[in-house]
Amino acid sequence: MASNPPAAPGAAALRVDDLHVAFHEGTREVRVLDGLAFQLSPGEIGCLLGASGCGKTTALRTIAGFVRPDRGSVHIGNRCVASPRAWIEPEQRGVGVVFQDYALFPHLDVTANVAFGLRALPAAERPARVAAMLELVGLPAIGSRFPHELSGGQQQRVALARALAPAPAILLLDEPFSNLDPDLRERLALDLREILKRHGTTALLVTHDQYEAFALADRVGVMDAGCIEQWDTPYRLYHQPATRQVADFVGLGAFLPGRLEHRDGNTFVHLELGTLPIHARTDQAIAGATANLQGEVTVLLRPDDVVHDDGSPMQAEVVRKAFRGAQFLYTLRLASGQTLLALVPSHHNHAVGERIGVRFDADHIVTFSPESGEQASGG
């Protein structure tokens, strides 16, 4: 069973540096990866998140060894496994892959599927390894069943057991939940995270679904046009997006015009809804000083930043509502015509066209430059 030497203390388990990949369609060059760079520490779970065509699947295939890079490199542990001058075949990289369609062998039972990658292990040791993997994924009693006898969630777990059986240095997961019902995806993502953490596996997921990414990953890279816009924790991606592109893609939100002012050592943003202070908090590593920032900005407001309050003098008209069980997601129109979103407990059932009171409940504010879309400040 192919494996990599363990990474040196403090070294990354996976490192991707300045990765470039282009395909050719006739005489036209299509650049798919354009300077992709990130790294994962041992035992860390990462995710490449983005819309179709952003390059995330090509990145995964390059790391796995199915695509050769034009420039840049991939290191797994202490080895360079891919660069324009160095190349290690996929089966020698110590990488496990869970594909979108699970790719289980239909003519083999579960035991034989999981054992398939254990040919380098002595035959006498294989049954114990298979049993341990099925126990790890919570399916200890289905070894004699065939894939068609399993649910989608069970097939996904068997595919995971098969990928983990050879003890790969890196586990790659290609949209592993896309064939499952939406209600099942987030639960299985949490289950998978628990399994990987218990097993100490370094893993990289690619997906277009932010809820899967947030449930599973320690760090997420939001991709666009072949590179990463922001590589960060799920919490910071949501609350402190570095660019308007990230803010648009991750979570719901509204963008309101505002004016930034710095006076007497304090920074404020003036909005239609009022004036709010911007202040750095010790539990948030705010990037960039705000001392010299003045002028017009665009302010990001998440639905959880806006609170329905019957006692507030600020009124907004309900123009759309979506029932979400415990909450309504209201789209609200201010007097200026600007719209914002608010999550409201579902016992506050207001009609479209009704005016309701709103106020802020935001412990930090993120603003963007109206011209560039780059983050101007956060607090």
Q: Is residue 372 part of a domain?
A: yes
Q: Are residues 85 and 177 in the same domain?
A: yes
Domain total of the chain: 2
Give 349-355's long-range contacts (Cβ < 8 A, gap of 24+). 350/318, 350/321, 351/318, 352/318, 352/319, 352/320, 352/321, 353/317, 353/318, 353/319, 354/317, 354/318, 355/315, 355/316, 355/317, 355/318
Q: Are residues 233 and 317 in the same domain?
A: no
Q: Are residues 78 and 182 in the same domain?
A: yes
Tens digit of each residue's pLDDT (9 = 90 or more) over 9-28: 567 999 999 999 999 888 88
Q: Are residues 235 and 355 in the same domain?
A: no
Is the confidence at residue 53, as pLDDT, over 50? yes
Q: Are residues 25 and 69 in the same domain?
A: yes
Q: Are residues 371 and 311 in the same domain?
A: yes
Is the confidence at residue 180, as pLDDT, over 90? no
Most confident of 134-138, 179-183, 195-199, 318-322: 318-322
CATH number at residue 208: 3.40.50.300
Q: Is residue 159 part of a domain?
A: no
Sign of CA dihedral 209, 197, 220, 241: positive
Last residue of a domain, one of 183, 210, 244: 244
Is the confidence at residue 179, as pLDDT, over 70? yes
Q: Are residues 174 and 193 in the same domain?
A: yes
Q: Are residues 58 and 182 in the same domain?
A: yes
Domain of residue 222: give its range.
14-94+168-244
Residues contacting residue 165 through CB under 8 Å, at least 6 positions apart: 114, 115, 117, 118, 129, 130, 133
Last residue of a domain, one of 199, 227, 244: 244
Tens digit of each residue's pLDDT (9 = 90 or more) over 60-108: 999 999 999 999 999 999 999 999 999 999 999 999 999 888 789 999 9
Q: Which two tokens stand for residue 85?
A: 């001058």
Q: Are residues 237 and 265 in the same domain?
A: no
Q: Are residues 336 and 187 in the same domain?
A: no
Q: Are residues 297 and 359 in the same domain?
A: yes
